[in-house]
Amino acid sequence: LKGREFHRASRIPSEFSEEELVAMKEALKGAIQIPTVSFSHEESNFTALAEFGEYIHKVFPTVFNTSFIQHEVVGNYSHLFTIQGSEPRLQPYMLMAHFDVVPAHEEDWEVAPFSGLERDGFIHGRGTLDNKNSVMAILQALELLLTRNYKPRRSFFITLGHDEEVSGTNGAQKMSALLQARGVQLAFIVDECGFILDGFIPNLQKPFAMISISEKGAIDLMLQVNMTPGHSSAPPKETSIGILSAALSRLEQTPMPNMFKSGMLKTMLQQLASEFSFPTNIVLRNLWLFEPLVSRVLERNDVTNALIRTTTALTMYNAGVKVNVIPPVAKATVNIRIHPAQTVVEVLELIKNIVADDRVQFHVLRAFDPLPISPIDDQALGYQMLHQTIQSVFPEVNIVTPGTCIGNTDSRHYTNLTTGIYLFNPVYLQPQDFRSIHGINEKISVQGYQTQVKFIFELIQNSDTDRKPVPHLHEL
Ligand SMILES: CCCCCCCC/C=C\CCCCCCCC(=O)NCC(=O)O
Ligand SMILES: [Zn+2]
Ligand SMILES: [Zn+2]
């Protein structure tokens, strides 16, 4: 869409006063200070979730006092905004984010995780990347547009989930059901997970934007072994702990099949080929020949490995009641993330074959298939709107590529409303930032956050187009 942007006569420039820029970062700091932690399905900080609702009322008064915006609280804490456009013939779209966060072990952090402290140009704290930055940037961009008398042509929804980190069943799932009951169909959805990736690929100097167009599936699988308890002074040859440990070890030592051939990473690397110098450019241009070599290299890194195969992470283990009692039961939970080219049924079959022990019982606690792949062609409005906005807000980024989300987002609850689900946070991400998500020392640069607000400010206006995206000539 280079040089062919959709301009409206009354387009509002994304220029903000010094006062507005300061208010933006202060609003994010305040949001970080509310410890909206999701521990488990049963356990969340409900007081903080309620406080967060009051907080957004306070900092975004115009959003809550505009006649064409309807606000509803769903599932007690999630927020659904319906922004009525002036042209009902234009199919609505949706911006999503979540404001619950994973716990933070305060002692490990350089800066207290719920302080929202600004230091050296960064705002520190849990949720600065995942995903209060998006919650606040969406509302902030809308607030700024409204104070400039903006009225959208295309209707849109904003959904802010309160339980994404524990599956989204009370928030996103209920909001989706509500919208479906109202007969809503969406042109596209934008949610978290893609980024502008910087430094993820050795020898690639340039950052590139990755818009995830699919998301891995998942299985939470409990493995259980029951044995007759007894006195530890005369132990049997095998105990429940030994049998289960051997099964888990086989799982860990046997990687799932390499799906590089049928994944998005292959497309991404082919698209990036010309950015590399000799000989990598030749290798990537000729994957028909070098595929085995490249996929072996990708297996060595945990992130790229997660992009080319289904992964099995042993995350919980429980066994034994007393030191001198043969344990009656041993249980372990495995968190499996399914590559988009596979299904729950296929993966369960593979797992059972690897374990190959009838004494091990399998209990599927939760399972869902990978998300369907969203379109990226010239008519795919969501992808093209993001592409266009990336080009205008990040002119230094000249590669936009489709990717896969290796985590799971609330967007999977909305597959009934659209075929266009695009996962993209307009924020630079380096490998150490990636490790900070659910890890320690999560932070966002003040400038990065302000640019995120600008991006959404532009994206909302770009999405007012009534034209079909224009075919373009460059890659993808
Ligand atoms: C060669 C290309 C390298 C690509 C590197 C991809 C880097 C990954 C970028 C972003 C991933 C961020 C994952 C965030 C997942 C957020 C959702 C979440 O936490 N959900 C809960 C869950 O999955 O358990
Ligand atoms: Zn998230
Ligand atoms: Zn998360």
Band of residue 355 on the pLDDT scale cut at 50, 70, 90: very high
Ligand 2 centroid to Cα of residue 44, in Å, is 16
Query: Radius of gyration (Cα) for the chain, nearest Å?
Result: 24
Nearest to 205 by CA among 32, 397, 3: 397
In this prediction, the answer to ipTM > 0.90 reads: yes
Return the C-alpha torsion angle 170, 173, 179, 184, nearest 10: 170
Distance CA 153, CA 200 (A): 39
Q: How far apart are CA 230 and CA 327, in angstroms?
A: 8
Q: What is the pLDDT of residue 464?
A: 97
Atom of ligand 1 nearest to the CA of 405: 11
- Alpha-carbon distances of 134 from 23, 159, 191, 431, rounded to whole Å: 16, 11, 9, 20
Amino acid at 381: L
| Average pLDDT score, the chain | 95
Q: Which of 185, 173, 184 is nearest to 411 (CA)?
A: 173
434 lines ligand 1 (CB under 6 A): yes
Ligand at minimal distance from the CA of 301 is 1
Residue 194 near residue 210 (C-beta atoms within 8 A): yes
pLDDT for position 103 = 97
Ion ligand 3: protein residues whose beta carbon lies under 5 Å: 130
Active site residues: 100, 164
**Ligand 1 atom at shortest distance from the alpha carbon of 407:** 23
Q: How far is the CA of 130 from the centre of ligand 3 (A)?
A: 5
Residue 434 scores a pLDDT above 70: yes
Residue 470 banded pLDDT, cuts 50, 70, 90: low
- Ligand 1 closest atom vs CA 194: 10
CA of 374 to the centre of ligand 1 (A): 17
Q: Report CA(259)–ligand 1 centroid distance (Å).
A: 18
Q: Which pLDDT tens digit goes with each residue over 370-412?
A: 999 999 999 999 999 999 999 999 999 999 999 999 999 999 9
200 pocket-lining for ligand 1 (C-beta < 6 Å): yes
- For residue 393 and ligand 1, the question of a CB distance below 6 A is answered with no
Residue closest by Cα to atom 19 of ligand 1 = 407
% pLDDT > 70, the chain: 96
Q: Which two tokens stand for residue 329?
A: 């039961």
Question: Across residues 167-190, what is the average pLDDT?
Answer: 98
Confirm or reject: Cβ of 193 under 6 Å from ligand 1.
Answer: yes
What's the CA-to-centroid distance between 22 and ligand 2, angstroms? 25
What's the pLDDT tens digit per position in 96-129? 999 999 999 999 999 999 999 999 999 999 999 9
Choose the residue to mutate in 128, 129, 134, 197 for probing ligand 1, maximizing ligand atoms within 8 Å of C-beta: 197
Quick one: which atom of ligand 1 is closest to the CA of 102?
19
pLDDT score of 5 more than 60:
no
| 407 within ligand 1 shell (Cβ under 6 A) | yes
Residue 40's pLDDT is what? 87
| pTM > 0.80: yes or no | yes
Q: Which of 162, 167, 193, 334 to mutate to test the pocket of ligand 1 (most atoms within 8 A of CB)?
A: 193
Which among 201, 305, 434 is the best mutation to test ligand 1's pocket, defined by most ligand atoms within 8 Å of the CB?
434
pLDDT band per the 50, 70, 90 thresholds, residue 9: low
Say how many Å lie between the CA of residue 127 and the centre of ligand 1: 14
Query: What number is the average pLDDT over the span 63-69?
Result: 98
- 318: which strand partners? 331
Query: pLDDT per residue over 32-58, tens digit each?
Result: 999 999 998 889 999 999 999 999 999
**Ligand 2 centroid – CA 165 distance (Å):** 7
Q: What is the mean pLDDT of residues 432-457?
A: 98
Residue 60's nearest CA partner among 144, 131, 151, 134 is 144
Pocket test for ligand 1, best of 41, 100, 200, 444 (most atoms within 8 A of CB): 200
Give me ligand 1 centre to Cα 437, in Å. 8
Task: Beginning with the edge strand found earlier in the chain, give each strand of the sheet holding 217-226 in spatial order.
Answer: 311-319, 329-338, 217-226, 361-368
Q: Is the CB of 409 under 6 A from ligand 1?
A: yes
- Per residue, the 3-state secondary structure of the chain, as one string, reads CCCCCCCCCCCCCCCCCHHHHHHHHHHHHHHHCCCCEECCCCCECHHHHHHHHHHHHHHCHHHHCCCCEEEEEECCCEEEEEECCCCCCCCCEEEEEECCECCCCHHHCCCCCCCCCEECCEEECCCCCCCHHHHHHHHHHHHHHHHCCCCCCCCEEEEEECCHHHCCCCCHHHHHHHHHHCCCCCCCEEECCCEEECCCCCCCCCCEEEEEEEECEEEEEEEEEECCCCECCCCCCCCHHHHHHHHHHHHHHCCCCCCHHHCHHHHHHHHHHHHCCCCHHHHHHCHHHHHHHHHHHHHCCHHHHHHHCCEEEEEEEEECCCCCECCCEEEEEEEEEECCCCCHHHHHHHHHHHHCCCCCEEEEEEEECCCCCCCCCCCCHHHHHHHHHHHHHCCCCCCEEEEEECCCCHHHHHCCCCCCEEECCCCEECHHHHHHCCCCCCEEEHHHHHHHHHHHHHHHHHCCCCCCCCCCCCCC
Other CB atoms within a 10 A radius of the CB of residue 282 amount to 13
Shortest-distance Cα residue to atom 16 of ligand 1: 407
The Cα–Cα gap between 230 and 181 comes to 56
Ligand 1 neighbourhood includes 195 CB (under 6 angstroms): yes
Q: Which ligand is nearest to the CA of 267?
A: 1
Which atom of ligand 1 has the smallest separation from the CA of 403?
4
Residues 227-277: tens digit of each pLDDT: 999 999 999 999 999 999 999 999 999 999 999 998 889 999 999 999 999
Can you read off the two tokens belonging to residue 30? 């305040």
Cβ–ligand 1 distance for 44 under 6 Å, the answer: no
* Chain CA centroid to CA 390, Å: 18
